[in-house]
Chains A and B, each alone.
Chain A
Amino acid sequence: MPEKIIAGQTVTVDEEGYLQNPAQWNRDIAQEIASEMGIQLTDAHWKVIEFLRRDYQERGAVPGMRRLNKVAGIAIKDLYTLFPDGPIKKAARIAGCPKPTSCV
């Protein structure tokens, strides 16, 4: 697995840039990945990122759209506005989670 320096810290990533170890993540890394994507993180983004991390730690899988909607209470429209062109993948990458594996 390639290593990469993000926000001054060496992290292990896969070929697509997803962190392989969520423990190497911090908020500065999130900021830097987001700004590479052209996303300026707001409180609304952080709410999604924090839920993703918590849920991934508890369940071992990146939550799908329905779970983000029903459990975290985030509107689907908002997710597409916050993370345009691929909401779950982008949010997962910023949150330091692996690439999502769910089909829904």
Chain B
Amino acid sequence: MSPLASDRAATVFPVRALDDKTLAARAEAAGVALRVDELRRIADACGRDPTIVELHAFDAQWSEHCSYKSSRHFLRRLPTEGPDVVLGPAEDSGIVHLGEYDGERYGIVIAHESHNHPSQVVPFEGAATGIGGIVRDVLCMGAEVIAVADPLRFGRVEERTSHARHVARGVVDGIAAYGNAIGVPNLAGDVYFHAGFDDNVLVNVVALGLVKEREIIHSFAPPGAQGWDIVLVGKATDPSGFGGASFSSLTLDAADSDANRGAVQVPDPFLKSVLMRASYRVFAMLREKKIVAGFKDLGAGGIMGCSAEIASSGGYGAELNLDEVNVALDDLPAAVIAVGETQERLLWVLPPEATAEVLRIYNDEFTLPAIAHNARAAIVGRITAEKRYVLRHRGEIVMDVPIDVLTGSVRDELPYVEAVRHEPGGNELPALDVEALLPQVLAHRDVASREPLFRRYDGVVRGTTVLPRGMADAGVLAPIAGARLGVALAVAGNPRVGAIDPRAAAEQAVLEATRRVVAVGARPIGLTDCLNFGNPRKADQLGAFVAAVDGLAHAARELGVAFVSGNVSLYNESKEGRAVPASAVVACVGAIADIGATVTPGLKRAGSPLLWIGSRELALGGSVVAELLGIEAPLPQTDYAAERLAAALVRDAREAGVLLACRTVSDGGVLTALARMAFDARAQGRALGAEIDYGNPFCEAGGYLCEVSDAGALDLTGVLRIGTTLAEPALIVNGTRFEVDALHAIWSQPLSEVYP
């Protein structure tokens, strides 16, 4: 019989004696988000009333953030398998096969998360901890962290004193401070500005890692782990980040802003930098001694969530002594030690013969205790055969529950209404005044140069960067010293389209992310998604989410690329309860066999044919120019067969050695892509331009604009030659002349006001 059945447990939360109404009130007063039916299930599973520690443990573990209880069943619709997939979405990160070098198979680890609510409340720390968390997700697979990316969605920043501008600055500074300090290049990212994010910013973060496929470390206790040590590594546990998991599942209320700030953790990139390098050393030691271990990052649910999941996913239980946890303050309550979300912590499951050496590496060789107050690696418990989860504190058992109930799936079947699909109308295309519109389009907040923002990020640390951010549609790294293999990374997700049609926006996000990778000469090998949506308890908002999942699934199947990792962020709403624009944000990883053949977008020489490979539909729906003109228009249709052909043609042109430059067409249309190819050339000191004749220069239906050396070498069925490059820095569009320098000045200016 469990000692808890006696009255020894310090504090018990009464469930069974209370009626529903009183119980609901008590739960709210205790600051937990668990519902009455969930509380009763917990009491039934335990066979008694839960302790306070158990209450908070279940609150974290069964929160939307940890359990995906209202979304997980929809996510099964996503394709997650394919020849490039090494590890699908089962652990902290997915892994795709990059290629072979020197007899080794290399995988790219990728993780994608959001840190939306914390960043809205405390922009700098919220965004910084977002980078900190995603880096741990990749690190704990046994990988070297090689890149980060940051898809951002901000509100209206035009007004100097707007809160949205304060958030937009704090977020960027937080990402910069953390990423720069740990020495991981910021390789990709995008930013959109939309009134729908005024009250609820989206801060998505992506990280990439490099791992030899036979050296992957899993986030579960390995077979035979019974009796092994559970070792906690990192920052001293403190009261920050208590209530984080359920906090991120609640709609933000400005009145609670002060209280919520306490739930945001304090980042320590300096400690993380040392932790990463110490962990690399541990990886090497384990490899050398052929020791298999489990390694997992502490995120939502803190020590409890991490240790329970690493044990239960291996088919074990766990027993921990909270007195062994290194804490920042004396007298922290057991519940805070157990589920608080202090940053910069990781957890190992180690065979006892390896433990001493691991502790030595972290504590002595890398001197963790001297790096930050009471930071260290310490044995805090062990893996048990009995499938229970037990926590001790000050000589008492404060938690003792069946581990499978704690970590097992919970599911909320919430009703939803199907999102109305946007029906393309047959509007007449208005006459477009290119001369007036091009400068406006280039200065538009979603088109203007992002350089003022990303020049605050270190994009070239580690010395592996081939194409830094901003130089092309995707960032490219040469991650393996001595190898010609390259990895490309791009992100996408257009809120102007999301606000119109969640499904179309999701499809477009997959299309744009993959195109961007194709444009630099890479083959798409894997996708991740972060689904940023509203309140799932509102049937229309859940309907938008479901439509987006279907859109992602359809596009990924059509293009033959799998989702290997992802994240869901719900309850993204304005103060008035309006959902943010539907935001399925997608990242795509691409493989490059020879970095020497990487394609860059800058125009290369005069007299080359310019080819437009893509849709010629006259659909301006969701486009920048439609917004500027204030018109409603049909969204472009997607023809997947044409899409696959276009990608194949770009590949063929590259392989034939005739592809001089390539850019994808998205925000701002074909003419924006062309202007940027001229800007790219200008940045390299080449004064080039182009003359084109094309009737639909602002349509964003998507495709590739290519400069080729010899169009004759290609099968150009379905391809339109729209013009020729010029030996002077000018664009001549349907007879109207623009100077590249003047356009560049217009394009460069707008964001430098927000990011001086």
User: Is chain B a partner of chain A in the same complex?
Assistant: no
Q: Which residues of A contact B (CB under 8 A)?
A: none
Q: Which residues of B contact A (CB under 8 A)?
A: none
